[in-house]
Amino acid sequence: MTRLSLDGSRRAQHQLVDVDERVPPDPEMAKLVQQYSQRLSKELEVPIGETTVPLDARNVTVRQQESNLGNFIADVMRAAVGADVAITNGGGIRTNALFPAGRITRKDVLAWLPFGNVVVKVAVTGAVIRQALENGVSQWEQLAGRFPQVSGLRFTFNPTRPAGSRILEVRVGDRPLDEAATYTVATNDFMLRGGDGYAMLATGQVLVSPVDGPVMANAVMEAIQKLRTIRPKVEGRITLVR
């Protein structure tokens, strides 16, 4: 915190003040913060829908295998921008917990997706999609956040093979991935900027930029509100073989 003293002259004096637990809160400001915190909490606790099945946000799932919550989020992203496929990093899904069946609130969605990431859309070749998936499974044994949760495609990988050659098969819809063809991919702005090693996604044509895309958490909230009841499941989108 900076304390700035002004006396009407051209000169000003300032003092840097360390703010930690030893500094007593200003009573009026603390009261105001509490009022806004209570109002925010009340808004976030509003139910927006329910799930009839537990939603898996555990790190051992979203960072190493297919997750039913990851599937739902990826499906929402793909639909939000009308893309052929969606790829999102499992590390962007938080809480490291198994969410029980029952009501879902805004607070729950923000706990799963706390970073404010935006859904974007980019056109890339099938070869780039394969590179992205190879990157996604390249640190599987480390529970790395780059592990991909996907929609519109299925892939098989072997984590015992050297990084960069772990993807065995990729299918988009019912067809094998065509590395020469162009596909549209829904992803998030963090990955489009090269986050978690996904620099290859930026080589494509950006069709929906971070300025124009919806916030991921908002898109998921709207989808839940529209459906009212969700029951996502593991569908065999990601297959691990050894």
Contact of 186 with 83, CB cutoff 8 Å: yes
pTM of the model: 0.87
Do the domain assignments include residue 21?
A: no
CATH for 117: 3.90.780.10
Collapsed DSSP state (helix, strand, coil) of residue 21: coil
H-state helical runs in the chain: 27-44, 59-62, 68-81, 106-112, 126-137, 189-192, 216-227
Question: Across all residues in the chain, what is the average pLDDT?
Answer: 93
Do the domain assignments include residue 28?
A: no
Do the domain assignments include residue 43?
A: no
Do the domain assignments include residue 1?
A: no
Per-residue pLDDT at 58 exceeds 90: yes
Q: Which range scores top for mean pLDDT: 22-26, 39-43, 147-151? A: 147-151
Range of the domain at 228: 48-240
Contact of 76 with 116, CB cutoff 8 Å: no
Q: How far is CA 34 from the centre of its chain?
A: 30
Q: How far is CA 215 from the centre of its chain?
A: 10
pLDDT tens by residue, 66-118: 999 999 999 999 999 999 999 999 999 999 999 999 999 999 999 999 999 99
pLDDT at 132: 98
Do the domain assignments include residue 37?
A: no
Do the domain assignments include residue 20?
A: no
Do the domain assignments include residue 14?
A: no
Instruction: Supply angle C-alpha 221, 54, 222, rounded to 5.
Output: 10
Do the domain assignments include residue 175?
A: yes
Residue recorded with tokens 């991919």: 185
Q: How many Cβ atoms sit within 10 Å of the Cβ of residue 80?
A: 22
How many structural domains is the chain composed of?
1
C-alpha torsion angle, residues 121, 96, 99, 111 (rounded to 10): -60
Contact of 126 with 183, CB cutoff 8 Å: yes
Per-residue pLDDT at 21 exceeds 90: no
